Structure formats: C-alpha cells, structure tokens
Structure 1
Amino acid sequence: MFPCCGLVIVCSKKPVPLKGISVDVQVKGFVADVSATLKYKNVEENAVEALFVFPMDDDSAVYSFEATVEGKKIIADIQEREQARKTYDEAISKGQQGFLLEEDKSSGDIFSCTVGNLLPGQEAEVTLCFVRELPVEADGAVRFVLPAVLNPRYTPKDEELSITTTHPQVPIGQIPYTLSLNAHFQSAYGISKIESNCNITPLEYTDTDKTAAKVSLAQGHKFERDVELLVYYNEVNKPSATVESALPDAKAGSVMAEQVVMLNFYPSFPAMQEQSNCGEFIFLMDRSGSMECAMNSKPNSPQRIQSAKETLVLLLKSLPLGCYFNIYGFGSHFESFFPETMEYTQKSMEEAVKKVTEMEADFGGTEILQPLKKIYKTGVRSEHPRQLFVFTDGEVGNTKQVIAEVQKNSQHHRCFTFGIGEGASTALIKGMAKAANGTYEFVTGEDRMQSKVLKALKHALQPSVKDIALKWSLPAGVESVLLSKTPSAIFQGQKSIIYAQLKGTVDEHSKGEVSLEYKFKDDIFRNVLPLSFHVGKTERPTIHRLAAKALISELENGTDSDSEEVKKRILETSIQSGVISSLTSYVAVNKETKQPVQGPPVHRDIPAPGLMMMRSMPFSLPGRPMAMACAMPKRAACAQVKSGGGDMPQTVKCVHKRKSKKNSSHEETYSSGPESTDMSTTEIPALFRLISLQNADGSWSLSPELAAVLSLSEDTLKQGKPQQSTDDSLWVTVLAVIWLHAMSFDQKDEWELLEGKAVSWIKSKAGSSLSELVKAGNKLLNSSVDLKVFGL
C-alpha cells in the first residue's frame, strides 16, 4: 500500500443544471442510430451557462442537434467552427439563449455541449443524434457501447491542456444526474439473445419471428461504467451490399445527391498450418501511473499493468523461433529492454520475461509520441516485416499528433492497438491501427486481454494478402466513386466495410455486382456481392451519413489534411451532409427569449464520471493552474467527506507519488477508483504458471514447478514414462500439451500458438513413439485427449 502524500479537496458545491440523459438506440443489423436527450433545469437565482464534456466513439457520425425551451423547438445549423462560436457568443452577449455542440480540437472522440443563458427556474432539453457502425466480436456478438466514462487525457509539456484535465469529474456512481436507455434491435436473420455489462430488463421480442427485440436499462442505473450491449444474431459474418437512394432535395454534386452503397465483405482463405518465423515484433507498453488502476469498477478487479504483464509473457512464449523482438515501456520517459530488436532465442526470451515481471506503472505521465519516433528512426530488418503492438489506457492529450506520426511511417510497419480499461480513447486506439493497416481491440469490463491480443498476433503471423482490388460490374451510364479506401490489409474473418457513391441514372430493375479480389499465396480469391437498385425513398439517410463520416475521416487523417483544398472538401462534405467534423459545429439560437439576460451568465461545468482521476503536478506546468478533479479513495487510507451543502459530494483526494527511474518534469497522479488488488498476493493461475515454464523452442523441461502445475511429483512423472530411455523434455512436453487440452480448453485461443510450437517440436523429436507417449500421458493425467491433436 502506498501512503497518502497529500490531500486535495476538489469538487464544487454548486448545483448541477443537467438533471438527466435519456437515450434511444435503434440497431438495424450492424448499424446503430442513436438519439440522446439532455434535460436541464436551472435551480439557481441567476442565469447560467452550462458546459457538458462527454466521450463519444470516434466513428460516430453526429448529424443533428436541436433544443426545446418552453415547448418551442429550435433546430441547430451546422456552420464553420469559428463562425458557429461567433454566432453563439453574439447571442449570449445580446441576452439570448444559445446552444453549441462541437468536437474537441485535440481528439475526435470528445464532444462538448454548451447551453447558454438558461434563466432561473427554466427547463430546457437538447437532443443530438448520431449513427455508427457496430463491430462484431470474436464470439459473433454485435457490440454497441454508449461511452460514459471520460478519464482525463495526459497533456505533454508545452502542449495546450486537454479539456479533460480541467473539467470536473466525480467518482463513478456519484453522478448527480440520471441515465435512461431504451434499445431496439432488428435483424432479418433473427435475434437469439442480448447481454449487457449493466442491469437490463428481460429481452422482449416485438414480433413473432424473433427478428425484432428490445431491452432497457433497469431502474436505478448508476454511472458505474460504459453501457455495453451485446446482441447475438442467428447469422453473422454474412456479406451484404446495401444501396440507399439519393435525397431529392440535396445539393447537386454532394454526397447526398447520389445513390450510396455500403459494402460488407468478410474475406476468407485457407488456414495455414505452418507458422512463419519472420517478423520484427515491437511491443510498446504503457507504464504511466494510471496503469496501476483497476481494469473495471468491480471489487478485486486486476490492475491494468498486471493484466498487461501476463499478456506480454504469453506473447513472448508464442513468438516463433527466428523472429526479432523488443519491448518498450513509456510514460513521461521511455525505455527499451534491448538497444535494438533481438533475435528470439531461449536466452533473449528468458531475459525479456524476467524484465516483464519487474515492470511497474511507475513512469509518470502518458507520452507516446517520443518512443514512436525512436522506433521509427531505427531501420527495418529485411525479410522481417515490422509489427508494432501498442498497449495503453489511451489517456493521451496529443492524439492527432500521434496518429499523424503513425500515418507518416505506415509504409514500413503494421500497428495493432489495445485500449485497456473503460475510458480509453477510441480516437487514439482506432486511429493508430487504421493508419498502419492493423487491427484494434478494447479490453473492458471482464474481458480477458490475453485472448484479444493473441488474436492480433495470429493476424500478424498470417502470410500477407496481396493485390487487393475492388472490381465493379454496373449498368451502362453508372460509375462508382469510392468514399472510403479499399482495404490495404486483409485478415482472416475480419469484416471490411467500403462506401462508394454511384453516379448516374439507373433503372430500378437493373442489376450489378461488385467483388473484392485478392491473392493469398498462389491462389486468387473473389468475394462477390450482388447489387440491387430496387430501393425505395430514403426516410433516414443512414448509409449516406456513415459514408460522409468515412470520407471526412479519410480526409482528416490523410497526409495532406492541412492543405486548403482538403480543408475545403472536409467543410463542404460536413455542411452538405450535416455530419459534424473538426472544422464544423452545430449552433442554435433562441431569439425569442422572453426576458433577455442582463450581463454574462454564471458558468457551470457539469462533471463527468471517471474511473481514475489524474492531474499534472503544479511544478510541472509553470504558469498554469493545477487541474482539479474529484477522485475516489484508494483502499482504506483515504476517507470520503460529505460536504455541508449542495448536491455534489466533496471528496478528499489522495495523491500517490511513485518513484520513477528518472526525474520527470511531468508526473501522473491518480486514485484508482475501486479498491485495487495487490496482485503479488493473488494466486497465479495454473495456466499462466505452465505457460511461464515453456521454452522458446516450444518444449518444457522437467522441474518441480512443472510437476506442481500437473499436480504430480517429479518421481511420478519419471515413473510414468512408457520408455525410460525417452528424453524427459519430450515426455513432459507431451504431458503439457495434454494438460492444455484437458484442463484449459476453454482458453484455447490464448495458448493455441504456443501449443503449435510445442507440437512441432514434439513431432521433430518423437518419431514412431509419439502414439505411445500420448496414450501413456492420457493415462497418467486421467484424460482422453485425441491423438489428432498431435497430428496422428
């Protein structure tokens, strides 16, 4: 337990004008259309201006914003960002009511909603609408997440402070406003079940064939975590092409004025049995102070750093002999295990595993840009394609700079990213992976990081898919214009979504097709989708909005995003489609305010829930105010003190300073939310103990530790050999593989790669005795593992 080094009282006693949030979710297949209404009431004696900062998934396309005051609806206009701010400021200065919705300059997954000149006793509602694609999890679940947790983003020295570091936060579960959510699901293939990390009402089917269903958040829901809904369809991974008709009143030449098609491909190719020994694997591990926080808000949840360490060991054991690797830890500074990437051998693996077990979350703040630049400055190894794995809780303030750096070097590597814990930046995690043709995963709730990371390693070891091309067969007079890129990397079972505009007039009875073609090893594969142009009038142009968002994201993250020509196209696309961008904002003005406000309104920041709170130490940012935030107590050392008045709890903050190997100009301090678990006193799972004992070539050695995992003595292991002349390592490696299948089969996705190494090693050593060894092993371990596991 670390001592409390300082106490800071941090929360305002002022009443909060936001009283509740109600959310309606409409999910059709793999797309969600969401309407969120924020309900305000000013209970103070003066007019107020309320600022609410909240997270949103980076892929969300916000397309509508409106306000309702005293029964009057005010529809917002989308304007160029600076013009929208000017419109809002002028309205406030005139005593009128103003409403402003904008994306944060630092990151596309943070939004702010400002309600200005709310009169004493007055109520108002603001509603924002957005659409987004939904990912498919490894188990086939379609995943919808409503982000609730907004952790402060660490701001490197000399950078403009992120709004998240200055905006007030309170412990999860103590938010002074409510959340209600109703979700409706539709799938032509049927809905089997819906699960959630929150308490929800029982699944209710709304039609007889079970293709439509609904659930709601249970009464009394608290802001304890992001709201996650997992819906299981009877069929997933089914390729599809959806054509949406043009909007008749859209401006000619705009995205909305032509038909748009959304293509869902699920490329597939034969599974390869052999494992490549090529590759340069660089693991970039977040060691900032916030990584000591818990994975989730439940009691006894493991620390983020501990889960990451276990995952790193598993990765090291799963690498193929002959590849190269290195591990970087980063925080306010960074360090690498080796001066350069090392060949993967028994010696280098053992040294790396030892260093991993000694890692702590003791590197201060979260600065990822400098280690990235260092990695990119080192030359790549010929015949060993570079694969970068990034592990972080995503609390980075200079997100756009980081993504730009990855984009600049994308031709020389692939980047696989993992957002750890709730509140991780979707803009950072998704942006880095997309920029360098990799994949991304978010590890939240009770997810196991190991299975998600090993899935990515399998992708990284997969032979590359080449000559990827999109080919069209369209009616005469129709041409396609891509609004998003054709994928430059394809992974087994990974969904690829492409948007395109179809220009020209087409008869509704016409047919067409589009195919995704690619070469895998020496074979050419084609995924063909038929196109039907028999589409009705578009009531809600969901596909157009998603396509506009995809185009805007492509332009914003491109290498020439700062050019005037690209900025002009972003601005035009955003205004024509109504989809917000980094260059636009929504603004509404109530010009019929009954009683114009005299003088500036009182400013009120509405707190957001956070799993951990951090701040920059006052000495690290000369001339800047210390960023204050509410924090949860860490263990029993800190007590929470209730304030004497007001709706908000007043919290005592415990500041923990960790010793770092270097004196950093920035330190990240925090409290971990739920009571952290001291993993050093937690029993290590048998699977992890077994994996830790494996050698780099895939074998195991006879040892007391291995015998303990198998629940046998060393003597019993030796006596159980069918032939006493058999090598001890060969015998116990057979036993280890049998144990994996018999005792830990439900975690096969985590040990599949290292088992492959083990079986290859066994087959190279055993010869004709393998069948006898397996039978004897089954007898000794009282199991019945099939001989086919060993290729027999």
Structure 2
Amino acid sequence: MMVNCCGLLTNRKEPVPLKSIEVQLEVKDHVTTVVSTLNYENKEDKPLEAVFVFPLPGDAAVCHFSAQIGQTHIVAEVKEKQQAREEYDDALSSGQQAFLLEESDQSPDIFSLSVGSLPPGESASIRLEYVTELAVQADDGLRFCLPAVLNPRYHPQGSEGPSVQVTSVPASLVPYSLSFSARVSSPRPISKVESNCSLEPLQYLNADQTQATVKLAAGHKFDRDVELLIYYKDAHQPTAVVEAGQASAKPGSLMGDPVVMVSLYPEFPQDVMSSLASCGEFVFLMDRSGSMRSPMNDSTRQETRISSARDTLLLLLKSLPMGCYFNIYSFGSQFEYIFPTSVEYSEKTMEEALKKVKNMEANLGGTEILLPLKHIYSQSCIPKQPRQLFIFTDGEVGNTKEVTDLVKMNAATHRCFSFGIGEGASSALINGMAKEGGGHAQFITGTDRMQPKVMQSLRFALQPAVEDISVSWDLPKGVSSTILSPPITAMFQGQRSLIYAQLTGQTSEATDGCVTVKYSLAGHPSQNQLHFNLKPAEDTGLTVHRLAARTVIRSLESEERTHRGQQDEEVKKKVVELSVQSGVSSSFTAFIAVNKDDGKAVQGPLVRRNIPTPFCGRPLMFRACRSLQQSLMSRAYSAPMPMAMDCSPPILMGMMGGSAPKSIRREKRSVGSSSYSPVVTHEAASPPPRKDPLLQLVSLQKASGCWLLDAHLAAALGKTSEEVEKAKPASVNSEVWASILALIWLHGFKMDAKEEWELLTLKAASWIKAQNAPCVSECVEAGNTLLGCSVKKEDLGL
C-alpha cells in the first residue's frame, strides 16, 4: 500500500540535478525554431539516472538532441524506438553515459528524457531543438506557448497506466531557473509582442521594424506556461516560402528536393458572411472533472473554470438561432446529458437546459471523454441540420490518440470546435480534435475570458460550410509538385490554411509558380490564388522541410492506428524511414546518444532521481491512495505507480525510484498517469460573486430574441419599473420597448464585450423587425433619453 500526497510533497531531502533551463526562440513569420538547454549537475556521491518528463506543443517536430559532458560533445541519432531503448540499457549496463529522448505512446505532446550514468560531481548540458507552426488567435495574434505545466493526465479504467510518478513542489521551491528570449523576423512589420509573463521592452533591430528581439524580465519563476503573442501588420496577406533541399540528401526524396509552404487566408464575399445559418444541431460537451474547480487565473480567484463555463453556456444558449436543435452533455468519470437526444430549440427547451446548467458543478471525478463522444456519434444525424460539436475541457486526458482518432472517424458527419481551458491543457488533444473534426481550436489561459473566444467559434459554426475544396498548381514545364499535407477539410473566414508541397525537377525558364484553392461556398464557386517565386529563400535552415516531414509522419501514424492489421508494419516502416531520414521524432522512433569516448566505466550502483516540478494556483488540500502490487522477476524493484490527480492544481511530472534491471525497463518507458479515486476536502465556501450586469441582462432574453418588460429587466438596466413604464411611447408594444432598451444598454455600456453579445442582438433585431412595430425611431430616442445614451437606430440593426 502506498499513500502519495501530490502537490504537497516538497521532496527537499533529495538533491536535485536540474539546475537551469534556457530557451531561445527564432520566429520566422508564422513558424518558429525553439532551442532549449537543460543544465544538470550531480551533487550526490553516487552515479545518477535522472528522468525528466515534460510537455512540448503537440504539433512540434523535435529535430535535434545533443549533450555536453565536461569537454565531450555527443549528438543523438534518431533510431527505431525499441532499438534505441536497448542501446540505452546496454550502455548503462556497461557503465557508459547515455541519453534517451522519446515521445509518449499515449500523447504526442509529452516527452521523457532519461539522463543515464551521470558520475558524482559531473555536469551535463542537454540541448533540445524543435520546430513548430504558430497558431492564429481570434485577434490575429500568433500564439507560442512554452508549457511549464503538465496537468496529470487521466487514464480511463482498464487502460494501461504508464508508469510515471507525479511529484510537485510549490513554485517558490523549484530549484532551477528559466531564461527565455525570442528573435522575431517577418516580411511584414512587427506591431507588438505580448505575454502573460513580464517582458523586457521589445527591441527593434532595423528601421522597417521587421526584426526584433524580446526576453522575459529577470526573476521569472517557472510557475506557469509562458505564452507569447506576436502581432504583424497586414497579418492576412497570403505567403509562400520555398526552401532548398538538404545538399547531402538524395534528389527526389523529401529532404533532397525543395519544399514550399503556402499560407492562405481565405476572404469570403461579404453578402455570404452576413447571412448566418438558421439551422444546425449544436452539441455542447462540458468537462466537469475535479480540476475544473481551479480558478481561471490568479487575479480573479472567485471565477473558477466551471463557473466561467456556466456563463459561457448561458451566452451560447441565448445566441442559438430559432429552428436549430441542441443538447448539452457533461463528463467526468461518467457522463450525463440534459436530453436523451437533441431537441428543437424553443423557449421551453432553452429554459429547461439553463436550469440544469445553473446547477452544474465540477463533481464528476476524472476526465473520461471517450464514452460521451462515442454516445454522441452513435446518435443519428438530423436531416438538414449539420452537427456542430463544441468540446470544453482543461485537457487532462491520457488517451489523446484514441480521442482524436474517434473524432477523425466521424469527421464526415460533424464539425468539431475545441476549447482548452487553463494552464497545461494538452495542445495535442485540443488542436487534434479541431483539426480532425474540421473545426477550430481555442486556448483560454491567464486572464483570457472564455466568452469572446467561444462566441467567435459559434460565429464560425454558423458560417456556411465550405465544400468541394481542391488545390491545383501551375508550375513551369519540368517542375512537378507532390502535396504533403492532408487534404483541407475546413476553411473559415480569416483563418489560416497551411499547405506543404515537395517540388521535383528543374527548369531554366520561368521562375514563378501559382497555387489555386477552389471551393464552393453556399452553393457559389469561389477561389483564392497566390503567385510565388520558385527561387529558394536564403537562410531558412530546414525548418519547412522538418515541418513538412512532421505533417507526413503524423498522417502516416494516424493511418497506422486506423488500419491496425496487415499494412500496420508497412506504414510503421515508412514512418521510421522518414523519421530517421529527416531527423524528426515520431511515435516509433527515439533520440539516443551514448558517450563512447571516455572509456572509463561509471562505478557504483545507479540511483534514479525525479526532477521536482512546479504546481500553479493555490495548493488545494487533497489526498489519494492507491494500492500498489507488483511482482517482479530477478530482484526486488520498487517504482511508485502513477497518480492522476484530476482534483489537483496543474503540475509538471517527474519520476523517481530504484534502478530497474534491463528485463523490466521495457515496461517502464511510457509517459502519463493512471485512473484514480480522489478524496477531496474543499476550502470553506466563499459567498457567491455578484452577478455580472451583462450576464444578468442576457439571462432575461427569451429564445425568440425578445425581452419582457418587467421588474427584473428594469433592475438589470439600473432603473425602477415605474421609470421604464413611464418612458414607453404609448403606441408601442411592451416587448418591443423592452427589447429596444436592452439593445441600447448593450451598445451604450458594453461595447468592450461586443463579441460576446453580438449574435444574440442580431437575433433580437430580427425579432423586432418581424413585429413591424410602428415608432421604432421614437422608441430609440426615448430609450436613449431614459438610459443616458446616444445610440443610433442603424447601429442597433433596425
């Protein structure tokens, strides 16, 4: 029996080998190369094996791994995973220093780094390099996130629990420091760089402001994700970058030929964009696991993730169009739904749903997302009501690949919009679900409000679906293209689509090429075109090639999981070949480095140590117990079993224990955590926060879009019932008057939150116009006088 108090262990009795982390970013337009250096020192009197488990962005392509020990520099090679593990174990058995870096079998955004046989008193510097695309935010900023936090991942009952011990300490006791700097360059001027952490001022390197550097202010504690938002002027210009192949690679291979990366931002006709859909089946899937009790951020501790999610559901339900269908599911260790099947949206069904939403608490245990998804997909689709799935989760899921594969299998029947809430949400899960489901992903961290981002996604969901998407190339004679990206399945107004293609052959003639994307929008054929120069850009390294290789590797891995069986080995072989050729990590390969120069065997038994890692947010009091029974061959070996604490604050993961014999190390490699039964003690309940005036007004709106003239509305507007009644023009209906007042109040006092209420006011304006009410202008004038505003009738959509 073992009791483990995660989040409260300081583990100070164990000297810690990780001293510092240095991170350098090289951002070029919308892709970045990230170089991380981890500096270790063994202060013990015994040789050490340190294991560090850490998150990376889910779309990252790890492309370099090396170690410096004293005067010796060793560069790791990419090898088939099993072979790499055996070489690592062989090296340790014979007393050699070795390093192993591998991706988790469960989730492509978790890596484990084993630093083996570090002699007493010795230092080691590990350099890790990866490339990744930067995601486009709702406000056109490009987002880079350096995860400091890896929430414990919940593994469903019966799944294989990977063996990593979760250990965390308060941020003030984390014994290593972080330095972080970025160099940004772009064809367009850089307008600003923002962060959730304190930055030193942006330094421009040239007069046209297309190059700049920025770094974290001194004294940063690595107690939260470091988020960088980069803004360019004219961000929506389509671009193409052609990168020369690797001189040493074979012509005709992916690494030997030039590769082009095309970035497109489709612009749709205004008349199509202004007519939002009035149909659809909207299914909302809400995480109610224990960790959703965590505060949204440090500054507003009263607002928890679950309370913010409840407010968001209120806005969503009020913004749905009449004539659509909807349902709300919630999940933890089990799942619940409000209606057995999706129901037509009406005043009655909306009120019934809101009553249930009001009582939603984060009390359903773990994060088991697979079962509710399977249940949703098993429901028949409603004819002429395209299914739109909105998934809200703090992303603490261990079976990421299973979940994204399930979304992919059902991609033909729905669009999937995903929201990662809070620090440490798995980027592989959130981006993966949206990518496979032809939707859009959003991350809500720091002081972000959930509502604007979710309402932007609802706007996307109400946009007509883009159909029949095709990409064609017009290239000079003698040059041909092979598209490396999976087919584009979804396009949204103003959202970026990236296409990678390999260019084969040469020409002495024209140096220009053209790519055309054709599609059908609301039944009308449309197209976007981009002309580009075929001459390779100078000094791009192999960033584009590596991202293209990563794209192909991810597609092949997904194919291998979908078609387990005969072609399984064939696909796996292709992945290993491309991974080794491109030097980019995959789920079937690992980076292995062995120091063969020294000749001296490291003496003494090997001790395994974990790297304590920070938790964020206030320490919650909780405890969990899990019985541990392991019978092991050859000699006694104790390794603590993983603990997935879904009720915990977010934490990184480390690993500790004795050294395992080679025969059982095989089973000890995967990364993640297992299922659990939490016992939670809450802090004393604080008084309920005062209702936000905006949400108070919104909560009074009817499903049809109108408001009723009553004491609740008057109070929300800050007036008495008598004042509101007295100001009403005599000839006008009281619901029309009430609705116009609500619109004036929103436009007059809440313009800063316009993206949150815009859809529900469009609905209200349509309802008012449908009443053919007389004296609308007179009502607007009287409403402005009553509320002390000066809003024009046309601004209200009337």
TM-score w.r.t. structure 2 length?
A: 0.90
**Whole-angstrom distance in 1 between the partners of 2:308 and 2:191:** 32
After superposition, what is the alpha-carbon deviation per residue over 1:8-54, rounded to whole angstroms, capped at 9, x for unaligned? 96343201100000011111111111100000000000000000111
Partner of 1:570: helix, strand, or coil?
helix
Matched, 1:575 2:576: no
1:586 to 2:591 alignment: yes
In structure 2, what residue type is equivalent to 1:90?
Answer: D
CA distance in 1: counterparts of 2:375 and 2:645, whole angstroms: 36
Q: Is the 8 A contact 1:51 1:605 kept in 2?
A: yes
1:457 aligns to what?
A: 458
Tell me how far apart the structure 2 counterparts of residues 36 and 76 of structure 1 sit (CA, whole Å). Answer: 15
Q: Is this contact kept in 2: 1:380–1:386, CA < 8 A?
A: yes
Give 1:30's aligned residue.
30
**In structure 1, the residue corresponding to 2:92 is in which secondary structure?**
helix
Q: Which residue of 2 aligns with 1:776?
A: 782
Contact 1:25–1:184 (CA under 8 A) maintained in structure 2: yes
Task: Write the distance in 2 (CA, Å) between the matches of 1:583 and 1:508.
Answer: 42
5+ residue gaps, structure 1, are 635-664
Contact 1:47–1:597, Cα closer than 8 Å, also in 2: yes
* d(CA) in 2 for partners of 1:278, 1:264: 31
Does residue 743 of structure 2 align to residue 737 of structure 1? Answer: yes
Distance 1:768 1:732 in 2: 15
Q: Corresponding residue for 1:106? A: 106
Q: Report the alpha carbon displacement of residue 605 of structure 1 after superposing the two structures with TM.
A: 1.2
Retained in 1: the 8 A contact 2:28–2:185? Answer: yes
Q: Is the 8 A contact 1:518 1:526 kept in 2?
A: yes
Give the residue type in structure 1 aligned to 2:707.
W
Who is 1:659 aligned against? none
Task: Please name the residue that 2:14 is paired with.
Answer: 14
Q: For residues 459 and 63 of structure 1, do their structure 2 counterparts lie closer, same or farther at Cα, with a shift above 3 Å needed? A: same
Contact 1:145 1:228 in 2 (8 A): yes
- Report if the CA contact (8 A) 2:177-2:221 is conserved: yes
Residue 57 of structure 1 aligns with which residue? Answer: 57
- Please list the CA deviations of residues 119-142 of structure 1 after superposition, one character each: whole Å capped at 9, or x if unmatched: 111011010101111122222222
Deviation larger for 10-19 or 409-418: 10-19
Query: How far, CA to CA, are the matches of 1:16 and 1:440 in structure 2?
Result: 37
Q: CA deviation at 1:93?
A: 0.7
Pair 1:485–1:90, CA change in 2 (3 A): same
Measured after TM superposition, the shift of residue 192 of structure 1 is 2.0
Quote how far apart the aligned CAs of 1:507 are: 3.4
3-state SS in 2 of match to 1:755: helix
Amino acid at match of 1:755: T
Aligned counterpart, 1:655: none
Residue identity in the other structure for 1:107: S
**What is the one-letter code of the residue matched to 1:371?**
P
Closer/same/farther in 2, CA of residues 690 and 21 from structure 1, 3 Å limit: same
Distance 1:32 1:508 in 2: 33
Mapped partners of 2:216, 2:732: distance in 1: 61
Aligned residue pairs: how many? 753
Identity %: 49
Give the secondary structure class of the aligned counterpart of 1:255.
coil
State the Cα deviation string for residues 590-609 of structure 1 (Å, max 9, x = none). 11236412354100111222
Cα deviation 1:596-654 (Å, max 9, x = unaligned): 123541001112223379999546887796645999999xxxxxxxxxxxxxxxxxxxx
**Are the equivalent residues in 2 in contact too, given 1:203–1:213 (CA < 8 A)?**
yes
- Provide the secondary structure at the position in 1 that maps to 2:360: coil
The C-alpha deviation readout for 1:699-730, integer Å capped at 9, x for no partner, is: 0111222111111111111111122x421111
1:750 counterpart = 2:756: yes
2:606 maps to 1:601: yes
Q: Give 3-state SS (helix, strand or coil) of 2:23's partner.
A: strand
1:98-148 Cα shifts (integer Å, max 9, x gaps): 011111111000011111011111011010101111122222222211111
CA 791–8 in structure 1, closer or farther in 2 if over 3 Å, else same: closer
Which whole-Å CA distance do the structure 2 matches of 1:473 and 1:433 have between them?
Answer: 31
Contact 1:616/1:666 (<8 A) preserved: no
Matched, 1:131 2:131: yes
Distance 1:633 1:483 in 2: 41
Amino acid at match of 1:686: P
Q: Is the 8 A contact 2:155 2:398 kept in 1?
A: yes
Hey, what's the Cα distance between the residues in 2 that align with 1:536 and 1:695? 57
User: What is the CA–CA distance in structure 2 between the aligned matches of 1:8 and 1:756, rounded to whole Å?
Assistant: 47
Contact 1:689 1:709 (8 Å CA) reproduced: yes
Tell me the TM-score normalised to structure 1 length: 0.91
Residue among 703, 706, 711 paired with 1:704: 711
User: Conserved in 2, the CA contact under 8 Å of 1:282 and 1:386?
Assistant: yes
Alignment correspondent of 2:519? 518
The secondary structure found in structure 1 opposite 2:771 is: helix
Gaps of 5+ in 2: 631-638, 650-674
Change (3 A) 1:687 1:510: same
1:84 matched residue in structure 2: 84
Matches within 5 A, 1:293-304: 293-298=294-299, 300=301, 302-304=303-305
**SS of equivalent residue, structure 2 residue 545:** helix
Aligned equivalents of 1:499, 1:516: Cα separation in 2: 13
2:677 corresponding residue in structure 1: 667
Is 1:150 paired with 2:150? yes
Q: Does residue 531 in structure 1 map to residue 532 in structure 2?
A: yes
Aligned equivalent of 1:565: 570
CA distance in 2, matches of 1:677, 1:534: 66
Change (3 A) 1:758 1:621: farther
In structure 1, give the amino acid aligned to 2:581.
Q
Q: Distance in 2 between matches of 1:192 and 1:508?
A: 38
Change (3 A) 1:470 1:734: same
Aligned: 1:498 with 2:492: no
Query: Which SS does the other structure have where 2:236 is aligned?
Result: coil
Q: Distance in 1 between matches of 2:302 and 2:582?
A: 44
